Amino acid sequence: MGLLSNKIERENLKPGDHIYSWRHAYIYAHHGIYVGEGNVIHFTRGGGQEIGIGNFLDRIIVSSSPSRPSDNPCPRCGDQSRLDGVISSCMDCFLSGGELYIFEYSVSPALFIAKARGGTCTLASSDSPEEVIHRASYLLQNGFGCYDIFRNNCEDFAIYCKTGLLVYTAISVGRSGQAASILAAASAILSSPLRFLTTSFGGLAAVGYGMYCFSRLVSDMGVRRDVKKVPVEILVSRAVSDESEAVTEMAKAD
C-alpha cells in the first residue's frame, strides 16, 4: 500500500479483506468484505435511496447498489439494483465499473493523518479473517439494521465485521471514516475559534487543515473511547429485541 493509493489487484486479495471502490469521480466510496471465490458481502440501500431523505441527493448517491441494467442482469447475481440490507455480490457487481482498493488497519497516527481522505484506513486492529468472515456471513443471514448514511452505512458494516467494535453513544457519528471526514471538514470551517488568530489565507488554511486532521483522528475507531466489542450474535439479538419492542409500542398506540 502506498501513501497516495490503496489500490490492489484482485489476485492479491485474501478472504476477510475490507475492500472499497470509489464512486462518482472519487466523491465517496462503497465498502464491503471479500469472502473468497470472487464474492463480496456488503451493506446496501436500494438504488436512488442512499440518502433516504427524498431529495435530489437520493438520485445522485447510489453507491450501495450494483448498477447493471435490469434487462441485462448479472448471470451470477441477478438484478440487485433495488436490494436493501446485507447482500452478497460478485466482484464485478460490487465494483460497478470502479477500481479496487483495500482498507488498511493498524496504521500509525502519522500515516492516518497523512492520508487526508477519510474512509481509507484506521488505527484500529483487525480480528482474524475467520472471525471477520463469520460476522459478515452471520449478518448476511440476519441483517445489520437500518441504513443511515452517517450512523450505519456500508463502511460502518465493514469496520464492524473487521473489528467487532460498535459505538455505544447516541450523540456521535458511527464508525465510518467518510462520515467523520465530512463532519471534521464542517467543524474546521465553522467551529474553530482559532480561525480568528490569523487573517492570511495561508494561516487560515493551516488552522483549518489542523482542525480537520485532529477531528478525524479523535473520531477514529482506534482512538475514540465510546466503543466496545460486541459479538455478532448479541448485536443481532438486540436488534430483534428492539424491533419487537417497536412493534409492541405501535400496537399499543393503535
Mapped onto helix, strand or coil, the DSSP state of residue 24 is: coil
Q: Given the C-alpha cell 440501500, which residue does it identify?
A: 45
Sheet holding 85-90, edge to edge: 85-90, 39-44, 28-36, 18-23, 101-102
Q: What is the DSSP string of 32-100?
A: EEEEETTEEEEEE--TT-SS-SSSTHHHH--TTS----TTS-BTTTB--TT--EEEEEEHHHHHTT---
Cα separation, 18 vs 8, whole angstroms = 11
Cα separation, 46 vs 36, whole angstroms = 24
For residue 40, what is its C-alpha cell? 463480496
Longest pairwise C-alpha distance within the chain: 61
Cα separation, 159 vs 224, whole angstroms = 14
Q: List residues with catalytic annotation.
A: 30, 42, 154
Of 119, 135, 138, 118, residue with least CA distance to 127: 135
